[in-house]
Chains A and B, each alone.
Chain A
Amino acid sequence: DAGITQSPRYKITETGRQVTLMCHQTWSHSYMFWYRQDLGHGLRLIYYSAAADITDKGEVPDGYVVSRSKTENFPLTLESATRSQTSVYFCATQTRDFYNEQFFGPGTRLTVL
């Protein structure tokens, strides 16, 4: 039981290219999140989704696009990558029951040259 997986784990791309980061969960948790982690900034929310076909912006959504056609998948697309989007990206899920715990994937390290 993998829980939550992210692919690729590492990606190097060039400025202006489109990049899609994948996130897949096996739990059927209703909520899914995308964060970016940068030194000194902690974890910043990019987008989140409450259910299939329901998405909303977080703190830093500019330059990113998300979709959620199926409960288990939540891809994040950088439509035209910029150097400032070099970061580690984490996907997370949440059950939204009493415990509120978020479960994080292993992360994708993205470098934009």
Chain B
Amino acid sequence: QQQVKQSPQSLIVQKGGISIINCAYENTAFDYFPWYQQFPGKGPALLIAIRPDVSEKKEGRFTISFNKSAKQFSLHIMDSQPGDSATYFCAGDNYGQNFVFGPGTRLSVLP
């Protein structure tokens, strides 16, 4: 199994702060790196995704930074809000063969 490692396991951030979650992967054949957001009692939903031909992708307050040589990517949440409190999963996908998810990070944003 090609692992995707994720850290930290849990994160507490003050409102307005920056949340940073890091992931590392092993499979160099991965061609798609999504981040999923999951609220309690709900299924995960796609938040933002990147392909390895770019080093950064930004959508509103959410940014993915991608380092192909280090096989690492990270999610940055700027101006974190209490509504961002959720569990975040990174993943790698190998040309649509199947997703490999990281173990998840539980984010709590304090008001």
Of A35, A102, A106, most buried by chain B (CB within 10 Å of CB) is A102
A26 to B42, CA, bound (A): 19
Which of B32, B43, B49, B103 is the one whose CB lies under 8 Å from A41? B103
Question: Residue-by-residue, is A21-41 near B (CB-CB < 8 Å gives 1, otherwise 0)?
Answer: 000000000010101000011
Asked if B103 and A101 sit within 8 Å, CB to CB, the answer is no
Tell me which residues across on chain B come within 8 A of A40, comparing CB atoms. 103
Known: A59-B1, A104-B45, A106-B43. A42 touches B93 (CB 8 A): no
A43 near B98: Cβ-Cβ < 8 Å: no
Q: How many residue pairs at the A-B interface have CB separations less than 8 Å? A: 50
CA distance A102 to B44 in the complex (A): 9
Whether A43 lies near B46 (C-beta < 8 A) is: no
Chain A contributes a number of interface residues (CB within 8 A of B) equal to 25
- Report which residue of B34, B43, B96 has the largest number of chain A beta carbons within 10 angstroms of its beta carbon: B43
Q: Are B43's CB and A100's CB within 8 A?
A: no
In the complex, whether A16 has a CB less than 8 A from a CB of chain B is no
The docked-state distance in angstroms from the alpha carbon of A99 to that of B46 is 11
Report how far A59 CA is from B42 CA in the complex, Å: 23
Roughly how many angstroms separate A56 CA and B89 CA in the complex, as a whole number? 24
Interface string of B42-55 (1 = CB under 8 A from A): 11111001000000
State the B residues within 8 Å of A (CB): 1, 6, 32, 34, 36, 41-46, 49, 89, 93, 96, 98-99, 101-104
- In the assembled complex, 20 residue pairs joining A and B whose CB atoms fall closer than 8 Å, in A order, are A40-B103, A41-B103, A42-B89, A42-B101, A43-B44, A43-B89, A43-B99, A43-B101, A48-B98, A58-B98, A90-B43, A90-B44, A100-B93, A101-B34, A101-B46, A102-B99, A104-B45, A105-B43, A106-B41, A107-B43
